[in-house]
Amino acid sequence: MKLETGAEAPYFSATDDEGTTVTLDDYAGHPLVLFFYPKAFTPGCTAESCDFRDRHDTFYKAGYEILGVSPDAPEKLAEFRAEYELPFSLLSDPDHVMADAYGAWGIKKNYGKEYEGLIRSTIVLDAGGTVEQAWYNVRAKGHAERVAKELTE
């Protein structure tokens, strides 16, 4: 189910690209941008991740931390993060528990076929763990810029 503005953020616990367990509690008191993407090293996901990288300073200066979330294994995420010099952690969600909780898993359509998969989404949490903004089924290109604009204007 998609999260609405004002909803309490679902608790999460996931392994990051360094093999460390990361939880929602680790970010208590810090606004957080969670962007969910389907697969590391694919063109759209690489473009989106690099767009968040290129705007990292904008988010950071506004007080926001960034976490990328995908079904990829931590080892693959470590390679992806190193290859593209991403300044934020990437979380592994192979069983889509986190994606389910945040409304980023569901029915997708591709060339007329329906299947379940990760829906490219961005959820912004305020310092108190409340949903500040939520975007679902977003386009990879230009999305990070839109999020940065919304949060800093």
Q: Is 50 a residue of the active site?
A: no
Q: What is the pTM of this model?
A: 0.94
Q: Which of 67, 33, 70 is nearest to 148 (CA)?
A: 33
Strands (E), the chain: 13-16, 21-23, 32-36, 65-70, 89-92, 105-110, 113-118, 121-125, 131-136
Measure the CA–CA gap between 18 and 151, rounded to whole angstroms: 28
pLDDT of 108 > 90? The answer is no
- Which domains does the chain show, CATH number per domain? 29-152 (3.40.30.10)
Cβ distance 144 to 54 under 8 Å?
yes
pLDDT of 146 > 90? The answer is yes
pLDDT of 112 > 90? The answer is no
pLDDT at 105: 97
pLDDT at 133: 96
**Which residue of the set 9, 34, 40, 45 is catalytic?**
45
